[in-house]
Amino acid sequence: MAEAAIQTFQEDSLAPEKPAKGLFWTSALRLMRHPQGAFGLSLTVFLVIVALGAPYFAPYDPLVVRSGQELKAPFGQYVLGTDQYGRDILSRIIWGTRVSLAVGLVAVSLGALIGAGTGLIGGYWGGRIEAVFSRVWDTILAFPAILLGVSVTAALGPGVLNAGIAVAIINMPIFFRITRATLLVEKEKDYVTAARALGSTDARVVFRGIMPNTVSPILVQVTVAMAQAVLLEAGLSFLGLGAQPPEPSWGSMLSESRQYLRQAGWFGVFPGVALMTLLAGLNSLSDALRDVLDPTQIYR
Amino acid sequence: MGEYLLKRVFQLIPILILASVVIFTIMHLIPGDPAQVYAGPDATPDALAAIRKDMGLDQPLFIQYFVWLKHVVVLDFGVSYTSKYPVIQLIQQKAGATFELAVAAALLQVTIGMPLGIIAALNQRRWIDYVISAYNSIVMAVPNFWLGILLILLLSVQFRVLPPAGRIEFLSNPAIAWKALIMPAFSLALFASASVTRFTRAAMLEVLSEHYVRTARSKGLKETVVIIRHALRNALIPVITVVGIQFGYLLGGAVIIESVFAWPGMGRLIMQGIGNRDYTVVQGALILFVTVFVLLNLLIDVCYAFLDPRIRLTAKKGI
C-alpha cells in the first residue's frame, strides 16, 4: 500500500500539471487569439510557405541571366523588375526566403541545443563545470555580434552554412544564460527535492522534471534569436561573407543594388521590404509568445 | 566602492585573455599564408622562408600567441602585411571616425528615443501610446543597412541634398561635416532608439507611480515640474544604462554602416583587412574593439553601482 503510494507520488512528482487540452494546444490557441500573435504568426507562416514552395511560386529561374533585360523597371513583364544581369528580382527574393530561413533555422537550433544544453548541465551540477561554461560564454558575449560573425565567417570561409554556424555561436551564450537562470529557480522547488528524496537519478530530475519547465523562456528566446539570426545573415551577406553569388540572398541583393541606385532605385527597395516583413513577423511573434507563455497567465 | 571596482576589474582579466585566445585562433584559421601576403605573389620560396622566420611564423602556435600577447599588452599590434605601416598607426587614423559616428548616433538615439518614451508613458493606454508602440515595432524591423540605402535613395539620388558617401572630419569643419555624418548616424541610431523609447516608457511609468511623485503633485507643483524634476530625473538612471550598453552595439553596428556610406572607420579597416588577409590589422582592431566593449560595460556597471548603493553593497557581501 505504502509502496504503491510512493510509486504514484514518484511518477506524479515529476509530471507537470496538465491542462485539459495540453499545453501545446492551449498556447497555440492563445497565440492565435492574441492580435500581435496572429499577425506575427501569419506573416511568418506565409514566408515559410513561400520558402518551401519557392520552385512553384517563383515566376522565373532566379539564376538565369538575360542579356538585354538588365535593370528593367518593375510592374512590367517582371513584377519587381530585374537586376544588373537581367535576373528576375521577385524570383530571387522568393528563393532568398529559403536562405534567410535556413540560416535562421541552423543558427537557432544549433545555438539553442548547445547553449541550453550547457545551461542545463552547468546550472544543475554547478561548481567547476558551470564556471568553465560561464567564462567561455562571457567571452563570446564580449564581442559585438556582427564583429564575431564577420570573424567566424572569415575563418570558416564565406557561405550560407558557415554564416549559420557563426550566428549560432553568437546565440549560444544567451540560451545558456536563460536556461541556467530558469534552472537555478526550479532546482530549489519542492518537486525537485521530492523527486531526489525518492531516489530519482540526476538525469531523470533534469530531463523529466526540470527541462519541461524551462521550455517557455527558451521558446520565446528561439523567436527572438531567429529574428536576430535573419538580420545577422542579411548583414553578413551584405558584407559579402554570407551567401555567395549567384545564390540569391536578400542581404547580397541589397549589397549589389548599391551600385545601381541612380538607374534602378527599386532594386534597393524590394529585398529590404522582404527582410522587413520577416523581421516584423518574428518580432511580433516573440512579443506575443512572451505574453502567452507567461506562467502567471497560462491557465486563466 | 573601491573594493567593488577592484573586484570587477579582476573579473575582466580572464575574459580578455580568453577573448585574445579566440581572436588569435580565428585569425589563424583563416585560409592563406600571411608570409605570402607580406611578400607578394612573386616571392621565391627562400624569401618566404626568411619572412616566416623573421615574423616568427615558424614557431609553434602557442609560442606565437604568447609573443603576440606580450606585444599587445603594450599596444604594439605589429605591422600591417599589406601597407607595411604599424597597425596602431592605422587604428589611430580610423578609430576617430568610428567613434565620431557612434557618438553622433548615440546622441540621435537619445534625441529620438527619449521624448517618444516620455510621451508614451504620459499617455499610457491612449491612442498616442499605441501609435508610438506600433512605430517602434516597425523601426525594430528595419535593418540599419537597408535604412542607409533608402536614405541615400531619397536624400542623395532623389533630392540631392546630402552626399551619399565619404567623411569630412567633424572638428575640422563642422558646417560641412554634419552633412556627411547625419545619414550614417541616423541609420545607425534609429534601430537603437526603439530600445531607448521602450526603456524610457517603462522607467517613467514606474517612477510616476511612486509616492514622492504623488507627494510632489499634492504639494501643488506644476505638472511640468513634477515630470521633469521629480519623475524624469529618477527615470534617467535605467535609461542611461541602456544608452551605455547600446553604445557598444553602435560601435559594432558601425561595421556595416561604414560599408554602406564608405565611412573610413574601424569597420572598413577590419573588412579590408579580412579581404587582404592582413591578419595583424584584423587581430589588432578586434582586440581593441573587444577591450573597449568590455570596459564600456564595466563603466556602466560602476556608474550604476555609484548611483545605486544597493548594488555595491550586495556585491561586497558576495551575495
The model's pLDDT over A29-39, given as tens digits with 9 standing for 90+, comes to 888 888 889 99
pLDDT of residue A300: 34
Distance of CA B216 to the CA centre of its chain: 38
Span A3-18, pLDDT tens digits: 555 555 455 555 555 5
CB-nearest partner of A151 from B26, B249, B294: B26
CB contact (8 A) between residue A150 and residue B141: no
Task: Report the pLDDT value the prediction gives residue B264, as an integer from 0 to 100.
Answer: 94
The CA-based dihedral angle spanning residues A81, A84, A85, A86, taken in that order and rounded to the nearest 10 degrees: 20
Contact A277, A43 (CB under 8 A): yes
Residue B24 has pLDDT above 50, yes or no: yes
DSSP 8-state symbol, A263: T
DSSP bridge pairs for B86? B79
* A298: confidence class by pLDDT, cuts 50, 70, 90: very low
Element (H, E) at A68: none
Task: Residue B260: list chain A partners with CB under 8 A.
Answer: 258
Beta-carbon separation of B249 and A138 below 8 A: no
Helix, coil or strand: residue B9: helix
| Angle between the N-to-C axes of helices B144-151 and A270-292, in degrees from 0 to 180, rounded to the nearest 10 | 140
Which one of A136, A157, A239 has the shortest CB-CB distance to B31? A157
**Which of A141, A239, A286 best tests the B interface by mutation, with the highest count of B CBs <10 A?**
A239
Contact A136 B18 (CB under 8 A): yes
Selected for mutation to probe chain A from B274, B282, B283, B296 (highest A CB count within 10 Å) is B274
Contact B286, B273 (CB under 8 A): no
**What pLDDT is recorded for position A21?**
64
Average pLDDT over residues A255-272: 93
The answer to whether the CB atoms of B289 and A280 lie below 8 A apart is: no
For an interface test with B, which of A36, A136, A151 has the most B Cβ atoms less than 10 Å from its Cβ?
A151
* Shortest Cα distance, chain A CAs vs residue B211, angstroms: 27
- Please indicate if any CB of chain A lies within 8 Å of the CB of B15: yes
Lowest mean pLDDT among A22-31, B150-159, B205-214: A22-31
Tell me the percentage of chain B whose pLDDT exceeds 70: 96
Lowest mean pLDDT among A96-100, A291-295, B68-72: A291-295
Specify the pLDDT at position B258: 95
Give residue B318's pLDDT band: very low, low, confident or very high (50, 70, 90). Answer: very low
Contacts of B271 in chain A (CB under 8 A): 150, 239
Residue whose cell numbers read 541606385 = A261
SS (H, E, C) A204-221: HHHHHHHHHHHHHHHHHH
Q: Could you tell me which of B192, B301, B315, B295 has the C-alpha nearest to residue B241?
A: B301
List CB contacts (< 8 A) between B286 and chain A. Answer: 143, 147, 151
- What is the identity of the amino acid at A11? E
Question: What are the cell numbers at B137?
Answer: 515595432
Between B16, B18, B255, which is nearest A147 by CB? B255
pLDDT of residue A1: 46
What ipTM did this prediction achieve?
A: 0.89
Q: Would the CB atoms of A235 and B145 count as touching at under 8 Å? A: yes
Residues A275, B270: C-beta atoms closer than 8 Å: no
Q: Which of B137, B139, B152 to mutate to test the interface with A (most CBs of A within 10 A)?
A: B137
The pLDDT of residue A11 is 52
* The C-alpha cell that represents A61 in the structure block: 529561374
Per-residue DSSP letter, A236 = H
User: Does the pLDDT of residue B237 top 90, yes or no?
Assistant: no
Q: Looking at beta carbons, which residues of chain A come within 8 Å of B29?
A: 155-156
B-chain residues within 8 Å CB-CB of A139?
A: 15, 18-19, 22
CB contact under 8 A, B137 and A154: no
pLDDT at residue B306 greater than cutoff 50 = yes
Question: What is the number of helices (H) and of strands (E) in chain B?
Answer: 14, 0
User: What mean pLDDT do residues B101-124 have?
Assistant: 95
Binary contact (B22, A139; C-beta < 8 A)? yes
Place of cell 540631392: B160
Chain A CB within 8 Å of residue B292 CB: no
Instruction: Give B215 to chain A, closest Cα distance, Å.
Output: 33
pTM of the model: 0.89
Subunit contact A265:B153, Cβ cutoff 8 A? yes
Inter-residue contact A223 to A214 (CB < 8 Å): no
**Which residue out of A132, A147, A223, A266 would a mutagenesis test of the B interface target, given it has the greatest number of B Cβ atoms within 10 Å?**
A147
> CB pairs under 8 A, 24+ apart, for B125-129?
none
The whole-number pLDDT of residue A73 equals 87
The pLDDT score that the predictor gives to residue A194 is 92
DSSP one-letter code for B170: T
Decide if pLDDT at A154 tops 80: yes
Mean of the per-residue pLDDT values of chain B:
89
Q: Which of residues 113-152 of B touch A (CB under 8 A)?
A: 137-138, 140-143, 145-146, 149-150, 152
Higher confidence at residue A126 or residue A85? A85
Note whether A262 contacts B157, CB cutoff 8 Å.
Answer: yes
- Name A34's Cβ contacts closer than 8 Å, sequence gap at least 6: A288, A291, A292
B252–chain A Cβ distance below 8 A for any pair: yes
pLDDT for the residue numbered A273: 97
A25 or A61, greater pLDDT: A61
Cell representation of residue A40: 506575427
Nine-digit cell string for A234: 542579411
Q: Residue A189 above 60 pLDDT? A: yes
Q: How far is CA B287 from CA A99, B4, B72, B297, in A?
A: 31, 25, 9, 15
* Residue of B146, B162, B278, B319 for testing the chain A interface, max A β-carbons within 10 Å: B146
Inform me whether the C-beta atom of residue B289 falls under 8 Å from chain A C-beta atoms: yes
What's the pLDDT at A161?
A: 93
Residue B189 and residue B199: Cα distance in Å, rounded?
A: 15
- From chain A, pick out residues whose CB is under 8 angstroms from the CB of B248: 144
Q: Of A111-115, A179-183, B309-313, which range is least confident?
A: B309-313
Distance from CA of B193 to the nearest CA of A (A): 16
Cβ-nearest to A146 among B26, B142, B255: B255
Q: How far is CA A22 from the centre of its chain?
A: 24
